[in-house]
Amino acid sequence: MTQTFDADFLVRWLAAVAEAVDREADRLTELDSAIGDADHGANLRRGFAAVTETLAKDPPATPGAVLTAAGRQLISTVGGASGPLYGTLLRRTGKTLGDDERVTRERLAEALGSGVAAVSQLGGAQVGDKTMIDALVPAVEGLRGSFGAARAAAEEGALATVPLRARKGRASYLGERSVGHQDPGATSSALLFAALDEIARTETSGTEGAS
């Protein structure tokens, strides 16, 4: 039987993301201080905390509605580039999912692919430009196989930004000086998929326990 996921699963995923971002905020800011504005961790911490609060107050009924609401909240809460980029990712993913009450992992991967495409269009970045796209694209491909594969691919993609020269975003102004630093956006993107894998494992173990 194909496993499907409801709105509560997506709410728990985003709550796990908020916890991970809060835990790693200082590291994200440290990475950003080397090649950015030194505010990535603080901005995402504020944004995902607001997402968690919003979803807890008025939980949407469908997975798509959860992600659309989360994306809208990020755009309105987070300044700089990360708010619009992460907001676009989640909002487009949610709109692509539509009104289905439950979604499969494959369907979520497809929808996230559309979200990543929207982020790429918004920021003009491609794989190899040393941005969040370097983690997001392989993660979506990995998600077509499993949650664990998505997590591993995102983490590998983030690490692969270290030797790259930034071609987009604030870091691109540094030229060769951006080489040798891990991209903060790719790093935070990897946190999203690590959290997704953790929640999926919880879901699976809970299902096995119930059966």
Other beta carbons within 10 angstroms of residue 194's beta carbon come to 21
Task: Report whether pLDDT(208) > 70.
Answer: no
DSSP letters, the chain, are ---EE-HHHHHHHHHHHHHHHHHHHHHHHHHHHHHS-S-HHHHHHHHHHHHHHHHHHS--SSHHHHHHHHHHHHHHH--TTHHHHHHHHHHHHHHHHTT-S-EEHHHHHHHHHHHHHHHHHHHT--TTSSSTHHHHHHHHHHHTT-HHHHHHHHHHHHHTTTTPPP-SSGGGGGGGGGTTS--HHHHHHHHHHHHHHHHHHHHHHHHHHH-
Q: Is residue 210 part of a domain?
A: no
With respect to residue 84, please indicate whether it lies within any of the assigned structural domains. Answer: yes
pLDDT of residue 174: 65
pLDDT value at residue 205:
65
> Which tens digits make up the pLDDT trace of 61-74?
999 999 999 999 99
Domain that holds residue 167: 4-203
**CA-closest candidate to residue 142, choices 123, 156, 132:** 156
Is 75 inside a domain boundary?
yes
The pLDDT value recorded for residue 210 is 34
Q: Mean of the pLDDT values across residues 16-42?
A: 93
Residue 132 lies in a domain: yes
Instruction: Report how many domains make up the chain.
Output: 1
Q: Is residue 211 part of a domain?
A: no
Q: Taking the CA of residue 57 as centre, how many other CA atoms within 13 Å lie in the half-sphere pointing to its CB?
A: 9
Q: Is 165 among the domain residues?
A: yes
Tens digit of each residue's pLDDT (9 = 90 or more) over 57-106: 999 999 999 999 999 999 999 977 899 999 999 999 999 999 999 999 99
| pLDDT of 115 higher than 80 | yes
CATH number at residue 112: 1.25.40.340
59 occurs within a structural domain: yes
pTM for the model stands at 0.93
Note the pLDDT tens digit of each residue in 176-201. Answer: 777 989 999 999 999 999 999 999 99
Per the domain annotation, does 208 fall within a domain?
A: no
Lowest mean pLDDT among 13-17, 133-137, 166-170, 202-206: 202-206
For residue 98, which phi and psi values (nearest 5 degrees)? 70, -140
Among 48, 37, 62, residue whose Cα is nearest residue 14: 48
